[in-house]
Amino acid sequence: MDRFLARNPPPQSSGSHQLIEAHRNANVREHNMELTQILNQLEAEKRHSETLNQMRKNSRSQCWWEAPIEELGLQELEQLRGALEELKRRVTKQTSKVLIESSNSLPFLPVNGTGQIGNFETKPEISVAPPPPHANNFGNYGHGIF
Residue 92 belongs to domain spanning: 75-146
In a domain, 68, yes or no: no
- Does residue 47 sit in the same domain as residue 93? no
Is residue 99 within 8 Å of 136, Cβ to Cβ? yes
pTM over 0.85: no
The 10 Å Cβ neighbour count of residue 95 is: 14
- Does residue 139 sit in the same domain as residue 99? yes
- The rounded percent of the chain whose pLDDT value lies above 70 is 63
Range of lowest pLDDT (5-19, 26-40, 58-72, 89-103): 5-19
Query: What pLDDT, on the 0 to 100 scale, is given for residue 143?
Result: 43
Q: Work out the average pLDDT over 8-20.
A: 70
- Report angle CA 38, 42, 45 to the nearest 5 degrees: 140
* pLDDT above 80 for 121: no
In a domain, 22, yes or no: yes
User: What is the C-alpha separation between 64 and 133, in angstroms, rounded?
Assistant: 42
- Does residue 79 sit in the same domain as residue 57? no
- Does residue 79 sit in the same domain as residue 56? no
On average, the pLDDT of the chain sits at 75
- Does residue 56 sit in the same domain as residue 90? no
Strands (E) located in 25-140: none
Is residue 87 within 8 Å of 81, Cβ to Cβ? no
- Does residue 81 sit in the same domain as residue 144? yes
Overall domain count for the chain: 2
Task: Reduce the DSSP state of residue 13 to 3 states and report it.
Answer: coil
The 10 Å Cβ neighbour count of residue 90 is: 10
Is residue 103 within 8 Å of 135, Cβ to Cβ? yes
Instruction: Give how far Cα 2 sits from Cα of 11, 23, 85, 91, Å.
Output: 13, 30, 98, 99
- Does residue 82 sit in the same domain as residue 143? yes
In a domain, 67, yes or no: no
* pLDDT above 50 for 126: no
- Does residue 96 sit in the same domain as residue 122? yes
